[in-house]
Structure 1
């Protein structure tokens, strides 16, 4: 790889970091036609000394996360098309096997089969212990119960892939600059101006921070607090094993050998030797394995989290030690230090599974670093504070190809895409974070916890328990505590999921709530069902303070709202309208209610929960200079009083006429509830008679008390998110981020009634094109399970016989309709009501039927 040490004075795009992420982004940008790209790294090239240099490169594609699985699948295909300079394919498609040592892990491996089917990973299979032994003869099959096999999994050398990607990028004009530390990014007027390095300044329009474990350091200089946490894990390579004697590989004639060895030393002889059999993972013991010729590589996450301070990380300057590698800590290999695995040291677990490694010397060993984020997903996209500043961090070799493709499409064409179409990156967007997540205290602890759980069996509803909690409290927090609320953390907010004080409702509604005893029973209470039924029959009060709230102000606010939204937004003061926001490709960017509260002032309300800040960032990005967009989420307490007796309750505490004639649906009024000022909206996400009530935060607790006192004679009850999810899905109300997101346009989502093609809005051309039936590949569909007592969870495959035709976007039990309700997107020929399909869940097939929506009017 012939890099150029001369730093140009200017460029269109500068990528900081030439590891696997930076090289992928450069490759993809030039593939899309962008020229004048410069990549800068503090280390030598292509072996920069970052995580890509020491990573063993194992690629297990299957994850519960659609994003990670899609990224990994794309990466596999990309790496398979890359070659070393000597013509050797960069990707070793040897297959991957994950073994189970417990009943719980075997159940988990079945879930991996189902996720693989949902995300399109080819030919997933459960193996018996004997079948595992046939593919991996050195595994002691007596200590396992079986395995999960993915034949297209494999291994790629990060350095080889970087060299191949860079070589092709340079052929298209990209300039790579080694041995150059980036000091800062010049910003003027909120716009990127230049990258400042130790060897000079490069003027540019766009900057991509692709430095992974060093990302936080550069971000802090820009007052961008990226919650990217470096963590250490252990990797070792055994001495030559007699059992692998026939596999000895000489690599000293590899074209990258000398370059690699100058950074990584003698372990280069092992790292450049690709595996000759399936890669292996023993998640019960947080360990993974691959062969390096006649040696076995042993990776261990099976130790307590080790989180170095990012400000104390070394660099990769010439003639220095590898900055992403720390000294091996023998103690963590030979003692049980993992908080969740206290009974077995990593070395013991390794020797049990692979007896050939027992008592063998670990010839090469080190603590290698990678980066974690608070939700274990990448941190990527445009930073809302500054035009032209992009991030691509917390990304592994496994996912870097897909992440690089999606980011390059985002930068060049405005929408993240992979080869099969748009991909929604709500959970990866750098703007998803709340302010507290930027603190090092939070990032350190959550990064360490993400490390701890990386190989644990995690339920999709799992939340932090005793860690970084009680950060954001709604004004009603103490009232919730008094009512024994089951509080879960959502974007730092302590939100009720159900109230133990409502347990007495089970005497009334319990016979309408089917028992659960499987995976779906965890993090669930029958009280959720009782609360939902009580709202349908009487009245409930729900704290919705955490929903994202924006205020749009200015003389041109009305014009901006019209351009932003798909519906006709010619509103009178007091009008409320449901609408969509689309991106440039016509994907649904958010669904919101807009209230005109004054001539030049609008209130925008949306959810999105832990990714709701993405909506705020988008609206701000689109706003003209003469319009102000304020995030007022924390400024207003919010609650909804809903149910058949909602009007009765509110009439006791206000003199306002709440009749249908005086206060119609989708209107708002400002008045007092006793002594508390409120803005009241005649809407309800639960789908019953109701009013959303907004008041300055300091009044929130008092308003809650007024309503609870007034509703006592009507048996008003608080209810949590569990009940709300069940209520909304029966009514066919979409949940953005689950059954509504940017991968689908308004016509696919059956929300065309919220689109007015007589108006102009962002993404209109794409939406108009989508309006043609011939352009609709998938349509939203509502299914119910035929077994009225069964419940399933999202992300499992929807089947027509043996063919996977979709996956579950969202699923909740509907206690009023007495069935599990599923929302998915199906090819149009399957979306017709009455169509019979199946759901694969926990190894069993459940009959399901497509229904007319909504199930409840």
Structure 2
């Protein structure tokens, strides 16, 4: 029995590899009074049966940074702690069986080079040379990462735990947290049980590292941690005579991975139709357990594997293993400070990549906890991205059937989830569906991404080339550029800030000036102490004491949480009113003429200039119009209460029939904003991108006496910029850009694209990237020769700081 202290600075709940990593890294930062509580034994949930694949390359630069850190850490742990981790760099190979998969892995190779990861595109014969046992008859190509590795998952966790203990952490096994006690928005203590002994430990904060139990522990703490356990299968063969060390092999087109281990082969699967587990809860006695075999479920994987690696037909099966692992709704893990509480941290839901992620995730979370703000952009995994409804168990059960298989599915651009759809619908949903809308899903919202033509099947046909909606988006953008288009923006977050201190509060939390006339709209950013961008929003003054903050759909919760945390003694009430109003964007040179047909209001520049809002009559109802644009054209966002939304849509639609009004989708909006050089939050601008280097200094008013990030803005002005966000347009109209493609300056890789899209009006693919420019003038930077690496081919690109479309912003103000 471990003696527990009466108080801890932090209680870590869960003794898998993640919990051990958090404890280890906090002690490395000098934290003391750390207690890790594990209900059974360390590693007894998921960690002990993990395959132990340790890859460097992830989907984004910062996730790759964390994976690379994990590798480096595991390589040194044994020397530090004396616990053998089994870590060895064996390399890895991923092969493609289709042309589409070949493009995916070759694009990932370019991305890897931009991120500083060693990688090599290899031919089928070169694959065979490195993996002689493989049948390469239908292999198109492969990529080889020589520094990828594998390790012993349980011993990696035990080494981390020992390292934490060596620096004073208390690690208590067979100690279950039975209750989490709260006061307001803070956890105050945890109740624990060790056999027959029970007690209460007060604490300053907790970290939920409970893995499969993370959802349940989250509920105990009053926070939402959406994840669900799925069955995960692999087999291990009998010893194969003469089998030597091999690279890890992935054949995603057959949903399979292979690992040589001690003269045996391990074959694992990420099948497209997964089996969710423990809908009614995980058994109380679960410890180092495995689930019943299901050979029928695994058999299709094995059949393909025997063809792919014929020696498996002669090898006996030593172990058929089925063990549970937790998966999240979007296949990204949960990390960070939970939105509902002020001292509850989460590191859970690692989607079968816990070993390769644990080192980096523990490092990043501990730095975040220590400094009080993210060390770099962690938006991919920040738990504030999740929506409250995603904690629904039925939703999680349905979605988890798909998310396991998505790890090895084709990662096509714009690919949409197929399961657990239709949860959140805007008031215009049926109007749009009747008119050919093809919906995508974001934060649970069903959003019209594009509109099918009358004879066209209203569904995605995925590809890395021009997809079936390419021409549709071109026609939608043409309507907005030359006539008038209308699209649904109801999913965007709407947060009402009201109270006698509303102006003072916003002037403290945001970089703009909000003491403006009623009806004025302010485009602005919320900054952190480093002047990184935490939110990119518009703020409309509705009255002397009330404002409306409009946010991207995916960041509404994060942005509201940011405001709540800084509310302090300001007398304001912050309320999510997203569902209360529906929004239609009416955009294009003829937008004013359409609105004048349905409303007696004055839409002239004299009464309703750009950047202002007014209340109007529309049809037989009421609305509020905001004269702003995200596509770079004359236009208004029309806000209507949800009860009048149907009437507003029908009135505008009917009035636009003799004008050629065209319904448009989110893909068109993305294309229009890219042509206009408007930034996309989460891609082009993040919490680690300085607002001045992002080219948004015009939105920051430093003559205000005090706001978050002001000192960092002034400091950067004095020191000068070290990089700038540059816009690129390919000179060849054929290639497509998505994001993360390497940017070459005078022949050398200097950056990667933060976003990419096809500019249909401009006739070429567009992208943005931060280009290093320390000590350089703008002329020197733009005077270089730039190329973008598209699947290994360097394509020349024009570079500008100003938008390629309407750089003087004349069209929005006519």
TM-score relative to the length of structure 1: 0.88
Q: Could you tell me how far apart the structure 1 residues matched to 2:406 and 2:116 are?
A: 25
- Kindly provide the CA deviation profile for residues 657-676 of structure 1, in whole angstroms up to 9, marking residues without a partner as x: 22111222211222221332
Q: 1:224 to 1:537 in 2, by over 3 A?
A: same
Residue 620 of structure 1 pairs with residue 564 of structure 2: yes
SS of residue paired to 1:204: strand
Residue 403 of structure 1 pairs with residue 403 of structure 2: no
Kindly report which structure 2 residues correspond to 1:266-281, keeping only aligned pairs within 5 A, or say none.
276-281=245-250
Q: 1:778 to 1:311 in 2, by over 3 A?
A: farther
Q: 1:842 to 1:517 in 2, by over 3 A?
A: farther
Q: 1:130 to 1:642 in 2, by over 3 A?
A: closer
Alpha-carbon shift at residue 358 of structure 1 (Å): 1.9
1:375 paired residue number:
330
1:482 paired residue number:
434
Q: 1:446 to 1:382 in 2, by over 3 A?
A: same
Alpha-carbon shift at residue 517 of structure 1 (Å): 11
Q: 1:715 to 1:142 in 2, by over 3 A?
A: closer
Q: Could you tell me how far apart the structure 2 residues matched to 1:575 and 1:677 are?
A: 19
Alpha-carbon shift at residue 171 of structure 1 (Å): 2.2
Q: Could you tell me how far apart the structure 1 residues matched to 2:349 and 2:273 are?
A: 20
Q: Is the contact between residue 519 and residue 612 of structure 2 (CA under 8 Å) also seen in structure 1?
A: yes
1:132 paired residue number:
127
Question: Relative to structure 2, which stretch is displaced further, 91-100 or 764-773?
Answer: 764-773
1:645 paired residue number:
590
Residue 685 of structure 1 pairs with residue 681 of structure 2: no
- Can you give the 5+ residue segments of structure 2 that lack an aligned partner in the other structure? 810-814
Alpha-carbon shift at residue 226 of structure 1 (Å): 2.1
Q: 1:28 to 1:579 in 2, by over 3 A?
A: same
Residue 390 of structure 1 pairs with residue 345 of structure 2: yes
Residue 762 of structure 1 pairs with residue 688 of structure 2: no
Kindly report which structure 2 residues correspond to 1:773-812, keeping only aligned pairs within 5 A, or say none.
773-774=719-720, 776-800=721-745, 803-812=748-757
Q: Could you tell me how far apart the structure 2 residues matched to 1:181 and 1:360 are?
A: 42
Q: Could you tell me how far apart the structure 2 residues matched to 1:175 and 1:753 are?
A: 51
Residue 35 of structure 1 pairs with residue 32 of structure 2: yes
- Can you give the 5+ residue segments of structure 1 that lack an aligned partner in the other structure? 248-275, 336-344, 505-515
Q: 1:166 to 1:580 in 2, by over 3 A?
A: same
TM-score relative to the length of structure 2: 0.92
Question: Relative to structure 2, which stretch is displaced further, 678-687 or 58-67?
Answer: 58-67
Out of 231, 251, 254, which is 1:285 matched to? 254
2:16 paired residue number:
19
Q: 1:830 to 1:99 in 2, by over 3 A?
A: farther
SS of residue paired to 1:82: helix
Q: 1:374 to 1:754 in 2, by over 3 A?
A: same
Residue 414 of structure 1 pairs with residue 384 of structure 2: no
Q: Could you tell me how far apart the structure 1 residues matched to 2:413 and 2:560 are?
A: 26
1:584 paired residue number:
529
Q: Is the contact between residue 271 and residue 404 of structure 2 (CA under 8 Å) also seen in structure 1?
A: no
1:261 paired residue number:
none
2:267 paired residue number:
298
2:812 paired residue number:
none
Q: Is the contact between residue 567 and residue 579 of structure 1 (CA under 8 Å) also seen in structure 2?
A: yes
Q: Could you tell me how far apart the structure 2 residues matched to 1:849 and 1:61 are?
A: 32
Q: Could you tell me how far apart the structure 2 residues matched to 1:553 and 1:289 are?
A: 58
Alpha-carbon shift at residue 523 of structure 1 (Å): 5.7
Residue 454 of structure 1 pairs with residue 411 of structure 2: no
SS of residue paired to 1:634: helix
Alpha-carbon shift at residue 86 of structure 1 (Å): 4.0
Q: Is the contact between residue 627 and residue 636 of structure 2 (CA under 8 Å) also seen in structure 1?
A: yes
Q: Is the contact between residue 93 and residue 143 of structure 2 (CA under 8 Å) also seen in structure 1?
A: yes
Q: 1:786 to 1:292 in 2, by over 3 A?
A: same
Q: Is the contact between residue 671 and residue 757 of structure 2 (CA under 8 Å) also seen in structure 1?
A: yes
Question: Relative to structure 2, which stretch is displaced further, 551-560 or 67-76?
Answer: 67-76
Residue 354 of structure 1 pairs with residue 309 of structure 2: yes
Kindly report which structure 2 residues correspond to 1:594-673, keeping only aligned pairs within 5 A, or say none.
594-607=539-552, 609-624=553-568, 626-673=571-618
- Kindly provide the CA deviation profile for residues 603-661 of structure 1, in whole angstroms up to 9, marking residues without a partner as x: 00121x33442222222222235321111111111112221122212122222222111
Residue 745 of structure 1 pairs with residue 690 of structure 2: yes
Q: Could you tell me how far apart the structure 2 residues matched to 1:611 and 1:453 are?
A: 23
Alpha-carbon shift at residue 143 of structure 1 (Å): 5.6
Q: Is the contact between residue 234 and residue 268 of structure 2 (CA under 8 Å) also seen in structure 1?
A: yes
2:792 paired residue number:
843
Question: Relative to structure 2, which stretch is displaced further, 564-573 or 101-110?
Answer: 101-110
Q: Could you tell me how far apart the structure 2 residues matched to 1:823 and 1:134 are?
A: 39
SS of residue paired to 1:521: coil
SS of residue paired to 1:205: strand
SS of residue paired to 2:283: coil
Q: 1:235 to 1:482 in 2, by over 3 A?
A: closer
Alpha-carbon shift at residue 42 of structure 1 (Å): 1.3
Out of 123, 143, 146, which is 1:151 matched to? 146
**RMSD of equivalent CA atoms:** 2.3
Q: Is the contact between residue 85 and residue 155 of structure 2 (CA under 8 Å) also seen in structure 1?
A: no
1:468 paired residue number:
420
Alpha-carbon shift at residue 223 of structure 1 (Å): 4.5
Residue 332 of structure 1 pairs with residue 297 of structure 2: yes
Q: Is the contact between residue 372 and residue 450 of structure 1 (CA under 8 Å) also seen in structure 2?
A: yes
Q: Could you tell me how far apart the structure 2 residues matched to 1:289 and 1:791 are?
A: 33
Q: 1:168 to 1:520 in 2, by over 3 A?
A: same
- Kindly provide the CA deviation profile for residues 470-529 of structure 1, in whole angstroms up to 9, marking residues without a partner as x: 22221111211221112222222221122235899xxxxxxxxxxx99614126331211
Q: Is the contact between residue 502 and residue 717 of structure 1 (CA under 8 Å) also seen in structure 2?
A: no
Q: Could you tell me how far apart the structure 1 residues matched to 2:279 and 2:7 are?
A: 29
Q: Is the contact between residue 289 and residue 296 of structure 1 (CA under 8 Å) also seen in structure 2?
A: yes
SS of residue paired to 1:849: strand
Kindly report which structure 2 residues correspond to 1:43-82, keeping only aligned pairs within 5 A, or say none.
43-45=40-42, 48-82=43-77
SS of residue paired to 1:809: strand
Q: Could you tell me how far apart the structure 2 residues matched to 1:44 and 1:100 are?
A: 40
Alpha-carbon shift at residue 67 of structure 1 (Å): 4.4
Alignment length (residue pairs): 788
- Kindly provide the CA deviation profile for residues 657-711 of structure 1, in whole angstroms up to 9, marking residues without a partner as x: 2211122221122222133222221211122111212121111121112222233
Question: Relative to structure 2, which stretch is displaced further, 53-62 or 744-753?
Answer: 53-62
Q: Could you tell me how far apart the structure 1 residues matched to 2:170 and 2:582 are?
A: 52
SS of residue paired to 2:425: coil
